[in-house]
Structure 1
């Protein structure tokens, strides 16, 4: 028999802190053959990403160690090879797509420079040849107007666009093994389908193997040959994907397959007071060219959008990456300059100075898309969650602040005993729950939720949706919910706004939008999310 490309044998991973050892991965074993896709699935904190980072030795050594095991790649144990040999393997033979693109891309370098650096280090391409290859890669991963994006910096791209850049970098040198850690988390449903098709095509053409890490079992069924189910650092079930899905043997696997956001949003009162509204809102970014950097055109990120959010109501904004969803939310909160009316709690925000705006911030909160980028690595979780209290409720005693932090963490499903840890000690899903706790601790009237469930596994998504609905009922909260996950939108939203290229293409009650979409664009989004996998105009039954 042909030996496997990658063979993990009896692997354990431990973290050391304060003289104590925590076992994150406990004696797991699995193989990946050349050209095969193996999915590693499980809830946040199950050990999936730690396993993946162990392969190219990217864990924070020496605080992490391997009490047992081997990582055999083409017969060589990557845990024992020299640093020089490991550098040749990384980025060439083995590449990785990370879960959080904003923290993986250098904010000081353009997209072209970052992708070209991979080509130069491992492929020897420079100059015109490198530029042409970078452009080809960006086009291959579905970045619109790729030539104009070569000079862009990461902060100028949407979350989904940044993830696509990461995928382009990982595929640049046609590796033998691609480790994809939640590669479609930040992508909308149509682009997600395109990326899955792209990975499948590249795997077939190159004979590339893929270790695909995800919490979305719907994706696993489309792309993986075999699946390994992981919980509490152990692999509890493994086998061909179709067989495991058809007849799951372990109770944990059955739990994962049954998990999905369910239920209906709270009934909204159309006569309830308006909490936040925009009228003809515009956010245009100038395009400057020439020696004098004259404005020659504008990127119309938000172009004449009107939104009304009432107390107790959730208005969802959906659309593909780059459609203007997040820009709309940030402008409504006066976190981006804009034109047009913005009214929150009866006050016109345009023209307000910083002191007046600060007094309103407690009632206007936000949960950002990238939890790691929005949490200070130098503060403990307790300090992060309590920071808003120190600013907006300075009269609270330290004991009262601590009690409020404990309650907030408990509400979002985190153990309050972990509050003295730091963000890097939590999984991506746990960090997102910390972000939600930070927003909710001030009991705001209006919350902008920017992809709050994108980094969460299915079962935790359902818990967070239930939590958000419960908080809304108890406090009559108004939500502006930005998401590409239409399953979550359906469970949470009363009204839906569909955006494309900065404009609203469809708007109305959620039930009507989901049952009777009026535009081709909305129908394509619904098809990709619920019924069909739409890729490049083709429709394939799921």
Structure 2
């Protein structure tokens, strides 16, 4: 095809390890035409990112690459370093998933954008500054001139991703490769970034290779789809054809992998497991030599909640809205004001020593299971750790209790001698859930427990959480920016914005008939409609 920008044919990629070669990509072939967006879709480990990194030889030295990758007719496999440097950043640019790991924390935004312009275009001084301002305004950074001296940590997640897009566009590339560029973002910011990319594609005539595991994004942005499984493309075609008439069983599985349904009927009787009245979390701002308090960061203002046994309270809102702060205040893990009652007992005034006996009944499951599991401990040690701290009155040995809870969360007890790195992301999250559940808590805080997982694994974890709640009458505080998961799990929902609860009520009411403009905006971003 004369308008083909990228042509990949029979690409094979292997990695040398312990004297053998492990194949990560097997016989992959596809094209990207001028002005076209092609999505590579599949779960973790399917070979999407390896395929993308192969296009400009960004793989590590242990990689063995065979086949053909043509960029505008020029062979990239085996190209010399001078040719690759000319193409990288100039003609083909990358946007990666997590901007905080891609941006240098020690350099200002101006310096990082300026380095690219200096290297590829020879722009410095006033000319470079003018181009940087133009790029930042182009990607929607407000008050761009005052942002030039900012460091990455001083920007929000959405702003950091916009800076990454500005860096990718700096040298007028023809092909943009976006590797999960919206996964870590709130639904509203995600929608803004997708709209920005679509608008830039129209205005600049960009071609795009978009890598994601989220089929909802693919439907909104891609012209064609390549579905990858186990290093191979198992199906490819026009987006509408893939969604309306999938042929491969794996594609059908991916399309069906969305948390569905609504939670079981909420309990209407029984005393609340936890309730708050006008809970407030303000962080003091100290200034001057004497560190006087000159103001407060009002993280949570006057939140009143009530959760019974067997009930889930969904807490939603954008990053910085106060979701996690509220939950930590409820669990007395940070200082707060206002009434907090657990199992009918006011716990707000209790000392840490008085709180300790209650800790086993309040457990937390975090977003990133790999970050919250010790790499030096076996799964048995990790799951049983709480038993050593809090003890148990069951009469069973710790090993028997670990085996029992592993079976309950869908893990083979024979694997208890393994370490976290030997498990998949979904299995590690099951380990984290088992560690919380072995203490038979009354209340569980689930802080973004599915956001780091593939869609099919998300569905499994949602079903597991439902089953555990039915079996043990658990009360959940469920924090997430993924409103599809919240809709499937939450009986009650509170919507937070800048520390305020702007709306709360039954999940069906919040999702089907939101009352505030802010909630309607969240629903539109998540579901593409007003509710």
Partner of 1:230: 228
Taking structure 1 as reference, are residues 409 and 143 closer, same or farther at Cα in structure 2, changes over 3 Å only? farther
Aligned pairs, how many? 524
Q: CA RMSD in A?
A: 4.0
Q: Is the 8 A contact 1:188 1:484 kept in 2?
A: yes
| In structure 1, distance between residues paired with 2:56 and 2:18 | 26
> What per-residue deviation string (whole Å, max 9, x for no partner) do you get for residues 118-168 of structure 1?
3132112778887787777666666788858964664x7766666555555
Tell me how far 1:218 sits from its aligned partner: 1.9
Partner of 1:47: 47
Partner of 2:97: 99
> What per-residue deviation string (whole Å, max 9, x for no partner) do you get for residues 215-263 of structure 1?
2222211100110011122111111112222222222222322332122
Return 167-176 or 129-138, whichever deviates more. 129-138
Higher Rg: 2
| In structure 2, distance between residues paired with 1:357 and 1:136 | 55
Partner of 1:119: 113
Q: Is residue 513 of structure 1 aligned with residue 510 of structure 2?
A: yes
- Matches of residues 376-525 of structure 1 in structure 2 within 5 Å? 376=374, 387-389=385-387, 391-393=389-391, 399-400=399-400, 403=403, 406-407=406-407, 410=410, 420=418, 422-423=420-421, 432=429, 435-525=432-522
Q: Is the 8 A contact 2:11 2:67 kept in 1?
A: yes
Partner of 1:537: none
Tell me how far 1:15 sits from its aligned partner: 4.4
SS of 2:326 mapped into structure 1? helix
Taking structure 1 as reference, are residues 502 and 67 closer, same or farther at Cα in structure 2, changes over 3 Å only? same
Return 79-88 or 125-134, whichever deviates more. 125-134
| In structure 1, distance between residues paired with 2:417 and 2:525 | 39
Tell me how far 1:352 sits from its aligned partner: 4.8
> What per-residue deviation string (whole Å, max 9, x for no partner) do you get for residues 304-335 of structure 1?
22222221110111223332223322333344
Q: Is residue 326 of structure 1 aligned with residue 324 of structure 2?
A: yes
Structure 2, unpaired ranges of 5+: none
- Matches of residues 158-177 of structure 1 in structure 2 within 5 Å? 166-167=164-165, 169-171=167-169, 173-177=171-175
Tell me how far 1:497 sits from its aligned partner: 0.5
Q: Is the 8 A contact 2:317 2:481 kept in 1?
A: yes
Q: Is the 8 A contact 1:260 1:462 kept in 2?
A: yes
| In structure 2, distance between residues paired with 1:495 and 1:463 | 22
Partner of 1:540: none
Structure 1, unpaired ranges of 5+: 535-542
Return 115-124 or 293-302, whichever deviates more. 293-302
Taking structure 1 as reference, are residues 82 and 281 closer, same or farther at Cα in structure 2, changes over 3 Å only? farther
| In structure 2, distance between residues paired with 1:533 and 1:517 | 8
Q: Is residue 28 of structure 1 aligned with residue 28 of structure 2?
A: yes
Q: Is the 8 A contact 1:287 1:299 kept in 2?
A: yes
Q: Is the 8 A contact 2:116 2:170 kept in 1?
A: no
Q: Is the 8 A contact 1:24 1:47 kept in 2?
A: yes
| In structure 2, distance between residues paired with 1:325 and 1:37 | 35
Partner of 1:300: 298
Taking structure 1 as reference, are residues 410 and 94 closer, same or farther at Cα in structure 2, changes over 3 Å only? farther
> What per-residue deviation string (whole Å, max 9, x for no partner) do you get for residues 377-436 of structure 1?
66666665555455445998685476367536635xx9975973554x776666555544
Partner of 2:192: 194
Pick aligned residue for 1:526 from 502, 523, 528 = 523
Return 206-215 or 289-298, whichever deviates more. 289-298
Q: Is residue 282 of structure 1 aligned with residue 276 of structure 2?
A: no
Q: Is residue 310 of structure 1 aligned with residue 308 of structure 2?
A: yes
| In structure 2, distance between residues paired with 1:503 and 1:381 | 39
Taking structure 1 as reference, are residues 225 and 379 closer, same or farther at Cα in structure 2, changes over 3 Å only? farther
Partner of 1:539: none
| In structure 2, distance between residues paired with 1:201 and 1:449 | 36
Tell me how far 1:469 sits from its aligned partner: 0.6
| In structure 1, distance between residues paired with 2:423 and 2:124 | 39
| In structure 2, distance between residues paired with 1:508 and 1:97 | 39
Tell me how far 1:209 sits from its aligned partner: 2.3
Q: Is residue 180 of structure 1 aligned with residue 170 of structure 2?
A: no
Q: Give me the TM-score of the superposition, normalised by structure 2.
A: 0.83
| In structure 2, distance between residues paired with 1:136 and 1:418 | 55
| In structure 1, distance between residues paired with 2:468 and 2:211 | 31
Taking structure 1 as reference, are residues 528 and 8 closer, same or farther at Cα in structure 2, changes over 3 Å only? same
SS of 1:304 mapped into structure 2? strand
Q: Is the 8 A contact 1:118 1:172 kept in 2?
A: no
Q: Give me the TM-score of the superposition, normalised by structure 1.
A: 0.81
Q: Is the 8 A contact 2:6 2:71 kept in 1?
A: yes
SS of 1:205 mapped into structure 2? helix
Q: Is residue 241 of structure 1 aligned with residue 235 of structure 2?
A: no
| In structure 2, distance between residues paired with 1:418 and 1:84 | 50
Tell me how far 1:463 sits from its aligned partner: 1.9
Return 3-12 or 38-47, whichever deviates more. 3-12
Q: Is the 8 A contact 1:429 1:455 kept in 2?
A: no
| In structure 1, distance between residues paired with 2:172 and 2:477 | 41
